[in-house]
Amino acid sequence: MGTTQLESVPEPKYLHLKTVISEALDSDFAVGEILPNERELAARFGVARATLRQALEQLELEGRLQRRRGVGTTVAPPRMGVDVSTTRHQWPGPGDEAWEPVDCVSTTPPAAVARLLDLAPDADEAVHAVRRLRVTAGQPVAAEQLYVPAASVPDLTAIKAPTGPARARTVLRELQRLTLEGQERAVELGSARADDAKELDRLPGAPVLVVTTRYVAQGRTAAVSVATYRADTCRLTFGGAGDFQIAS
């Protein structure tokens, strides 16, 4: 990438710079390649480092770049598609090998999840909380907390499964014994909490996509999933026509 001086343009300089760098990423860099440091890039483009940082931040938000601690700024792989359609009903577990079970504990769900599970506000009822990570190309891109009431997996108490991934897989297998009747899914833009940020190699408060799914079986909510996706590496995809709705 040779020296490039930016011409006077009506749009903000950092936006024009973002376009120039984006074109250079397509032609001069490979996925995973580390970019020169900010001082070198600023000199090549003849801009202040503050302008350069603004352009790099925009490219990071768009998923073109990744900033990794101890590594630097690298060219990001294409964004992973996250299917948020509900036309295909499927329990978490089968056919989603990209998800790695991490742990399973008994805990009281957050108030919002308790409402989805139709639990009384003052019940203080514990549920099984399965923790999973979605890994793509060796990099974690999403973290999921799946809340499963004891009533959905009544035979679990008779199964001697230790804590950790083995327990998580056991809960998922027991959940799949139910006939899935439907699911509802909601997507929000949020900020990474401390625990999610650590697992996803992001800073707390970084933009994320939060996908909440309510699974229905036997006429009631059988489980609720709250999955947090890195906004810089994931994009939303939708199913057939009519599957996407906007809530006002």
Same domain, 25 and 118: no
234 pLDDT more than 50: yes
Q: What is the mean pLDDT of the chain?
A: 83
Tell me if 5 is assigned to some domain.
no
Same domain, 85 and 201: yes
Which of these three, 46, 75, 104, is where a domain ends?
75
Same domain, 127 and 37: no
Tell me if 27 is assigned to some domain.
yes
How many domains are contained in the chain?
2
Cβ atoms of 97 and 124 closer than 8 Å: no
Kindly report the CATH number assigned to the domain that includes residue 26.
1.10.10.10
**In this prediction, what percent of the chain has a pLDDT beyond 70?**
83
Across 184-193, 199-208, 213-222, 224-233, the highest mean pLDDT is recorded for 213-222
Kindly report the CATH number assigned to the domain that includes residue 193.
3.40.1410.10
247 pLDDT more than 70: no
Give the model's pLDDT for residue 62.
Answer: 75
Which of these three, 60, 75, 90, is where a domain ends?
75
Count CB-CB contacts under 10 A for residue 28. Answer: 12
Give the model's pLDDT for residue 14.
Answer: 86
Tell me if 183 is assigned to some domain.
yes
Residue keyed to tokens 């699911």:
183
Give the model's pLDDT for residue 202.
Answer: 79
128 pLDDT more than 70: yes
Residue 57, burial from CB neighbour count under 10 angstroms (0-12, 13-18, 19+): middle
- Across the chain, where does the E strand assignment appear? 65-68, 72-75, 80-83, 99-107, 127-136, 139-148, 180-191, 207-217, 220-230, 234-237
Tens of pLDDT, residue by residue over 14-27, are 888 988 898 888 88
Same domain, 122 and 175: yes
Give the model's pLDDT for residue 78.
Answer: 74
Give the range of the structural domain holding residue 198, as residue numbers without chain letter: 80-237
Give the model's pLDDT for residue 44.
Answer: 87
178 pLDDT more than 90: yes
Give the model's pLDDT for residue 191.
Answer: 87
Average pLDDT score over residue span 152-173: 83
Tens of pLDDT, residue by residue over 43-73, are 988 899 999 999 998 888 777 887 776 778 8
Same domain, 42 and 154: no
Same domain, 70 and 165: no
Residue keyed to tokens 């089968």:
94
163 pLDDT more than 80: no
